[in-house]
Amino acid sequence: MRKATRRPEGAVLLKGARERRVSSGDVELCVAELGDPRRPTIVLVHGYPDSKEVWSLVSERLQERFHVVLYDVRGCGRSTAPKPLRGGFTLEKLTDDFLAVADAVSPGEPVHLVGHDWGSVQAWEFATAERASGRIASFTSVSGPSLDHLGHWMKRRATRPTPRRAAQLLGQSAKSWYVYLLHTPALPEIAWRGALGKGWPKILKRLEKVPAGPYPTPSLPRDASHGAWLYRDNIRTRLRRPRQDCYAHAPVQLITPTGDIFLSRHVYDDLDEWAPSLTRRTLPTRHWAPRTRPDQLASWIEEFVDARHRGRTSEPAEEPRSPHADRFAGQLVLVTGAASGIGRATLFSFAEAGARVVAVDRDAEGAARAADAARLIGAPRAWSENVDVSDAQAMEELAEKVAQEYGTVDVLVNNAGIGVTGSFLDTEVEEWQRTLDVNLWGVIHGCRLFGRQMAERGQGGHIVNTASAAAFQPSRALPAYATSKAAVLMLSECLRAELAGQDIGVSAICPGIVSTGIAGTAHFVGSDEREEETLRRRTSRLYRIRNYPPEKVARAVVRAVVRNQAVVAVTPEARSARFLSKVLPRSLRAFARVNPPIGASKQGLAKGFERTGRERA
């Protein structure tokens, strides 16, 4: 046995961690433990050029319920490096290291494995190697494919090319530019021990918005120099001759950052073949998710470990009820105006995707019914809150309660609104105030309060504001309503620009005529009670004839969040109005002068309804 090198100095310890040394061949590994050792053990494996401290934010969130173990990979942090470096970083030796750690921290019990970047690459080796079978209860992979799987993926696209496969192969080859550089002699070591190593924290902050903390550690230049041998010892060998028996012997959770600049999402297209029990998740962030999205990662890891620890280690993952279950499972979504119409349908769409949902409405019973139905549809947790969105104090209390009891909202849908129609001169100040309080100020309150919580958390999020086709289509019949919705549209655009730097998306949804209950509750200014009820029935009938279901709008809301769309016009008339507002605005202004059947003067409407009634009689 070769003598281990001197213990590295200058690495940063995790706060409250219990440290031990574990021998593996000719190296000593620095192992840190958090939480109660009697609980299920989660082993977190870091990537390149990181040390175990990259997991500090995630481990803090997991340690209350689990025994969390982190270790510095050989040659990194407070672990020693093999001598010589060449040949000392093969996947076989990395597997020896993992097994030594697992035996030390969890003798006799399998561990739940989590890997990021090269930690995931080597963890795939552990999860597919026969000698590690029975030592892994579950495996969560973040931003790191199996080299064997990647080798098969590349060979299939090279030997049986199609235009789509060729594009995928070229795309990943371009993203792998750094791999070629790391194979060059001496150059990576010189760069990391020089300007690159000194500037790396600033690079991460600029490119990935990685917050400051115990990561990166002072040992980074040495760690990165040693870690270059991970690529040199493994990449070419495995990609040229990938193993055939590389099937996962434990359930796998794949978490794919959608903005990963190093890995194409397509490299996981064939993964179902190699991992029979596979759960897919997508995360709207870049490569260093353990630093930028620790809450979501910890939540998914906790959920996955809990399910497998209860004895369901061999059954396949449940089929999602929504195509977006990989994106929203476990996230917290709050919807205002959720008791009916578009709000209720939107709540259900997120519930089908496995999100935790909060139904907010001034109709307490309706919100409660919506929350109950959301649980049946698929939401793991659903709550209802009785709040008038126009009440600033009530909204502040709601935001505080949600943060304390449910957590920070990941997706906010400001949907609550009221309808009002009638000429400008007939609309009293009180009606203007009521319309703006709900339709505009309700959105402002939601964006201000929950948007601030998202920004302070620093882990992204999304805000959806329901505007209307009326936002870009002037109408003599809807001055108050159109004004409020146009303000919502502009507010959304301004907020999107402000929050983009914090990875918080903002979308404005602009539906046209949709079959909801808004027509039945709309106020027709200048009408007495009897006339107003007649107008409501007539308008509601027209909406039913149009028969555009709110479920289609809800699906557009979910897509807008997934795609981070700025403005989404829903329904054909809404898309036409938006197009004309950009290309032929004069035509919209001319059309706005037409006296419509709905929203005209009360005398004209009443006569029209009387005539319709006589004709039918």
- Neighbouring C-alpha atoms within 13 Å toward the C-beta of 90: 10
What phi and psi, each to the nearest 5 degrees, are found at residue 473?
Answer: -135, 100
Q: Is the pLDDT of residue 542 over 70?
A: no
Q: What span, in angstroms and rounded, lies between the C-alpha atoms of 306 and 16?
A: 24
What's the rounded mean pLDDT across residues 172-184? Answer: 94
Burial code (b: 16+ CB inside 10 Å, e: under 16) for 10-22 equals ebbbbeebeeeeb
Q: What span, in angstroms and rounded, lies between the C-alpha atoms of 91 and 238?
A: 10
Residue 271 corresponds to which tokens in the numbers above?
A: 């993964």
Residue 273 shares a structural domain with residue 247: yes
Q: What span, in angstroms and rounded, lies between the C-alpha atoms of 298 and 295?
A: 5
188 falls within a domain = yes
Secondary structure E strands in 365-512: 382-386, 411-414, 420-421, 461-466, 504-511
Range ranked top by mean pLDDT from 140-154, 502-516, 532-546, 569-583 = 140-154
pLDDT band at 427 (very low <50, low <70, confident <90, very high): confident
SS3 of residue 27 by DSSP:
strand
Residue 206 shares a structural domain with residue 66: yes
Q: Which of 97-111, 145-159, 315-329, 372-386 has the lowest mean pLDDT?
A: 315-329
| 602 vs 82, higher pLDDT | 82
Residue 442 has a pLDDT of: 97
Residue 340 shares a structural domain with residue 258: no
Active-site residue identified among 48, 71, 268, 481:
481
Residue 282 shares a structural domain with residue 345: no
Residue 463 shares a structural domain with residue 554: yes
Residue 41 corresponds to which tokens in the numbers above?
A: 């053990």
* Domain of 355, in residue numbers: 325-517+548-586
Residue 4 has a pLDDT of: 38
5 falls within a domain = no
| 512 vs 411, higher pLDDT | 411
pLDDT band at 422 (very low <50, low <70, confident <90, very high): confident
Residue 592 has a pLDDT of: 83
Residue 214 has a pLDDT of: 79
Within 87-219, residue ranges assigned H as helices are 91-105, 118-128, 147-159, 163-175, 177-182, 187-192, 195-208
330 falls within a domain = yes
Residue 340 shares a structural domain with residue 255: no
Q: Which of 3-7, 138-142, 200-204 has the lowest mean pLDDT?
A: 3-7
Residue 244 corresponds to which tokens in the numbers above?
A: 């055939």
Residue 214 corresponds to which tokens in the numbers above?
A: 């115990």
Q: Is the pLDDT of residue 8 over 70?
A: no
SS3 of residue 302 by DSSP:
helix
6 falls within a domain = no
361 falls within a domain = yes
Residue 309 has a pLDDT of: 74
The domain tally of the chain equals 2
Q: Which of 41-45, 386-390, 562-566, 590-594 has the lowest mean pLDDT?
A: 590-594
| 522 vs 25, higher pLDDT | 25
Residue 523 has a pLDDT of: 52
538 falls within a domain = no
What's the rounded mean pLDDT across residues 253-265? Answer: 95
Residue 190 shares a structural domain with residue 300: yes
71 tagged catalytic? no
Q: What span, in angstroms and rounded, lies between the C-alpha atoms of 472 and 493?
A: 13
Residue 350 shares a structural domain with residue 251: no
Domain end position, chosen among 309, 336, 359: 309
SS3 of residue 200 by DSSP:
helix
* Residue 159 belongs to domain with CATH number: 3.40.50.1820
7 falls within a domain = no
Residue 398 shares a structural domain with residue 304: no
Residue 299 shares a structural domain with residue 448: no
Residue 358 shares a structural domain with residue 472: yes
9 falls within a domain = no
Domain end position, chosen among 275, 309, 343: 309
Please give the share of the chain, as a percent, with pLDDT higher than 90: 76
Residue 602 has a pLDDT of: 42
pLDDT band at 604 (very low <50, low <70, confident <90, very high): very low
Q: Which of 13-22, 231-240, 509-518, 565-574 has the lowest mean pLDDT?
A: 509-518
Residue 333 shares a structural domain with residue 304: no
* Residue 414 belongs to domain with CATH number: 3.40.50.720
Instruction: Report which of 115, 403, 104, 152 is spatially closest to residue 255, judged by C-alpha positions.
Output: 115
